[in-house]
DNA sequence: ATTAGGG
DNA sequence: CCCTAAT
């Protein structure tokens, strides 16, 4: 019945089979989480129908799991009848984490206890859905009411009709009860009396703790002996008045209040689903105090559940968050950081990687599935230290020949399609984009080419900032006084080649087309950039390369001229498309120009 | 929104 | 690269 779900996707987070995920089922004492059973994730509709979870939902589950760094979680709450999984602040430990008994979360607080988990599971009915983990106590409604706030994208609440609830029969609990002396069967009875439902858990220890918690309405299970009188816990052990004061237990046993206890969310919940509760609840946590903010609702809510987060809690939380933000998809790490999980369940983050290689982390607060994204800057994000490609370039001066070869090869091949292809892939797999992109960039960097031939003063000025390829949005104070952001991204050879290819295919002037089709992967190159670059190329191609040596040597090494083959090609295209700058046309170099022109002019047609 | 051209 | 003007 209880199910712990582990949704596991491939590394890219995609499910091989949409709609399915692995679910580990485990009863009380954590069975083997290693025994994956494939269940179909379903959503319980309001009318009780079970409908297959949509991909989105499945993903949602998965995402949460992944984001929480734990892929295991309980998909328990399905709807109203089913209790809330998380309630009060003790949630960090109470939440659905799954934690196998052996699960160790060393760092975990004492509250985390498999027993409880199982208890929760136990409470959960047989049905489960992709509703996420998120649910919070509803503050209103007094008694064991709670609300669930399934975090579905659509924001619809899941409901289930499968849960049967019965009220606890406290009357059966009277006199002194020493849990230690009870048999399993008796414990079962006591359990039922306490929680109003059956249990099949065989674990005595678990039962005892569970009951103790229920009776004391706390997580304290130190006491195992209780005295019940008139439906009231007189107490024994450490509980006592203090507990009553804290919890709602003794207040009104008849109504079933007692039921709440550590697991308030039991079956009795009326099923109000309020996503906003999540919000407020969350806020409370963050703010660390709801006393003022919450109104009447709060009153009903037992004080105990509103415990103020401790400093440490907050710290840990933020720590986790930051980790989360910075991290890449971490490989599945089981049973770690269970404690913080609950808090993390409140949010999930989605990462998008821009084509610039910038990582944009958006935090998607699960406001009841409203799916509101709150972009935020990753705190830890740090771009890689800039590579010193200048050094690399130093090697190139004399390697023109080699470069030319590469160029030819590239030109010959269809450097075009590949790019698009890769690009497409990149879009579909955002997570990896960054890495891949960086890789590409680095590769390109080897061919760093200079923007223009003539070496404009501007170019020089810009090139300076090695920050070209960096993701820093550098704001360059214009000499004229303007203060604008300027990314000067040096054109890489591959980009130039693509541009040339593009022009040859679509024609000069169709910049937007070229941009779309050939530069999809280079988001930072706008059609205008392409146009400008082409203009420069044109100029360059017809410009003289008199004593190339002189210029080259004189110019810094970083100014790697554009390989002749490319210029040649540019020239062809220019002539083909009658873009030949009149003045420059005549000044072309005899050798390269003549041969190239005469020969290619006519062939241009096939281009 | 896209182009072309000047700065 | 940015900006503007003209489409």
pLDDT, tens digit (0-9, with 9 covering 90-100), for A14-46: 222 332 322 222 223 333 333 333 334 444 444
Mean pLDDT of chain A: 47
How many angstroms separate the CA atoms of A602 and A562, rounded?
24
pLDDT score at A170: 64
Domain with residue A500: its CATH number is 1.10.246.220
Give the neighbor-by-neighbor strand order of the sheet with A36-40.
Answer: A36-40, A20-25, A3-6, A72-74
Residue after which a domain boundary falls, among A183, A216, A249:
A216
* Nucleic acid strand B within 7 Å of A528 CB: yes
Do the Cβ atoms of A237 and A215 come closer than 8 Å? Answer: no
Helix (H, G, I), strand (E, B) or coil at A267: coil
Q: Is position A153 within any domain?
A: no
In a domain, residue A509? The reply is yes
CB A506 within 8 A of CB A514: yes
Selected residue with higher pLDDT from A585 and A186: A186
Kindly determine whether the C-beta of residue A510 is less than 7 Å away from any atom of nucleic acid strand B.
Answer: yes
CA dihedral A311, A312, A316, A318 (to 10 degrees): 10
More confident of the two residues A174 and A425: A174
A390 within some domain:
no
- The share of chain A scoring above pLDDT 70, in percent, equals 19
Contact A39, A363 (CB under 8 A): no
Residue A516 domain-assigned (yes or no):
yes
What nucleotides of chain B have any atom within 7 angstroms of a protein Cβ?
Answer: 1-7
CA distances from A358 to A179, A323, A433, A524, A537 (A): 59, 17, 10, 12, 29
Give domain status of residue A538, yes or no: yes
CA distance A93 to A171: 31
Domain termination site, one of A216, A235, A252 = A216
Q: How far is residue A226 CA from its own chain's centroid? A: 47
- Does A344 fall in a domain? no
Q: Residue A162 CB closer than 7 angstroms to strand B? A: no
* Residue A185 maps to a domain: yes
Which residue has tokens 């230690």? A180
Q: In sequence order, what are the residues at sequence separation of 6 or more whose Cβ sits closer than 8 angstroms to the Cβ of residue A126?
A: A1, A162
Please state the pTM of the whole predicted model.
0.30
Q: How many Å does it take to go from CA A464 to C1' C1?
A: 14
CA–C1' distance A296–B1 (Å)?
A: 54
How many Å apart are CA A110 and CA A220, to the nearest integer? 10
Rounded average pLDDT over A100-121: 34
Q: How confident is the model at residue A554 (pLDDT cuts 50, 70, 90)?
A: low
Q: Is the CB of A519 under 7 A from strand B?
A: no
Residue from A359, A372, A2, A357 nearest A153 by CA? A372
Q: What is the extent of the structural domain holding A497?
A: 490-543+565-570
Provide the CA A531 to C1' B6 distance, Å, integer: 14
- Contact indicator for A44, A160 with CB cutoff of 8 Å: yes
pLDDT of residue A477: 57
Query: Is pLDDT at A439 greater than 70 in this prediction?
Result: no
pLDDT of residue A531: 92
- Nucleotides of strand C within 7 Å of the protein's CB atoms: 1-4
State how many domains chain A has. 2
């Amino acid at each position: 019945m209880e199910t712990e779900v582990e949704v596991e996707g491939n590394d890219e987070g995609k499910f091989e089979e949409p709609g399915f995920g692995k679910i580990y089922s485990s009863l009380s004492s954590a069975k083997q989480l290693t025994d994956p059973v494939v269940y179909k994730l379903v959503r319980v509709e309001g009318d009780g129908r079970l409908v297959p979870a949509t991909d989105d939902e499945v993903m949602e589950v998965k995402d949460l799991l992944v984001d929480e760094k734990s892929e295991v979680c309980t998909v328990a709450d399905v709807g109203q009848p089913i209790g809330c999984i998380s309630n009060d602040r003790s949630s960090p430990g109470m939440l659905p984490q799954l934690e196998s008994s052996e699960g160790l979360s060393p760092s975990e607080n004492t509250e985390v206890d498999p027993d409880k988990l199982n208890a929760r599971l136990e409470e959960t009915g047989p049905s489960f859905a992709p509703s996420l983990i998120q649910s919070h106590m509803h503050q209103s409604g007094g008694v064991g009411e709670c609300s669930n706030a399934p975090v579905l994208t659509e924001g619809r609440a899941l409901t289930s009709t499968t849960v049967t609830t019965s009220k606890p029969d406290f009357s059966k609990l009277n006199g002194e009860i020493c849990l230690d002396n009870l048999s399993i069967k008796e414990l079962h009875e006591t359990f039922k009396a306490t929680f109003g439902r059956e249990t099949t858990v065989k674990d005595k220890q678990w039962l005892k703790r569970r009951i103790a918690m229920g009776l004391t309405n706390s997580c304290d299970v130190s006491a195992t002996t209780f005295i019940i009188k008139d439906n009231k816990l007189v107490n024994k052990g450490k509980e006592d008045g203090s507990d009553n004061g804290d919890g709602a237990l003794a207040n009104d046993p008849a109504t079933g209040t007692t039921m709440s206890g550590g697991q308030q969310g039991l079956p009795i919940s009326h099923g109000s689903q309020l996503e906003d509760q999540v919000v407020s609840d969350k806020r409370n946590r963050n703010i660390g105090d709801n006393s003022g903010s919450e109104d009447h609702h709060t009153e009903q809510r037992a004080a105990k559940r509103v415990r103020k987060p401790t400093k440490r809690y907050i710290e840990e939380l933020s720590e986790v968050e930051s980790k989360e933000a910075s991290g890449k998809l971490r490989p599945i790490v089981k049973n770690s950081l269970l404690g913080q999980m609950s808090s993390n369940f409140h949010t999930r983050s989605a990462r998008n990687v821009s084509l610039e290689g910038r990582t944009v982390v958006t935090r998607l607060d699960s406001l009841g599935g409203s799916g509101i994204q709150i972009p935020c800057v990753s705190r830890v994000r740090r771009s890689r230290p800039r590579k010193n490609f200048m050094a690399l370039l130093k090697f190139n001066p004399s390697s023109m020949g080699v470069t030319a070869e590469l160029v030819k090869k590239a030109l010959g091949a269809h450097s075009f399609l590949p790019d698009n292809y890769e690009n497409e892939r990149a879009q579909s797999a955002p997570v990896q984009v960054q890495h891949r992109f960086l890789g590409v960039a680095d590769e390109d960097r080897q061919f760093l080419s200079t923007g223009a031939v003539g070496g404009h003063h501007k170019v020089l000025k810009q090139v300076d900032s090695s920050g070209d390829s960096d993701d820093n949005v550098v704001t360059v104070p214009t000499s004229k006084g303007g203060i604008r952001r300027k990314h000067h991204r040096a054109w890489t050879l591959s980009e130039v080649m693509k541009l040339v290819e593009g022009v040859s295919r679509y024609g000069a002037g169709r910049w937007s087309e070229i941009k779309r089709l050939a530069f999809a992967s280079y988001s930072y190159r706008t059609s205008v950039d392409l146009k400008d670059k082409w203009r420069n190329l044109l100029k360059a191609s017809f410009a003289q390369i008199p004593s190339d040596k002189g210029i080259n040597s004189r110019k810094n090494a970083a100014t790697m001229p554009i390989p002749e083959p490319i210029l040649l090609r540019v020239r062809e295209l220019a002539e083909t498309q009658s873009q030949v700058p009149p003045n420059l046309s005549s000044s072309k170099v005899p050798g390269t120009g003549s041969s190239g022109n005469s020969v290619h002019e006519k062939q241009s047609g096939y281009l």
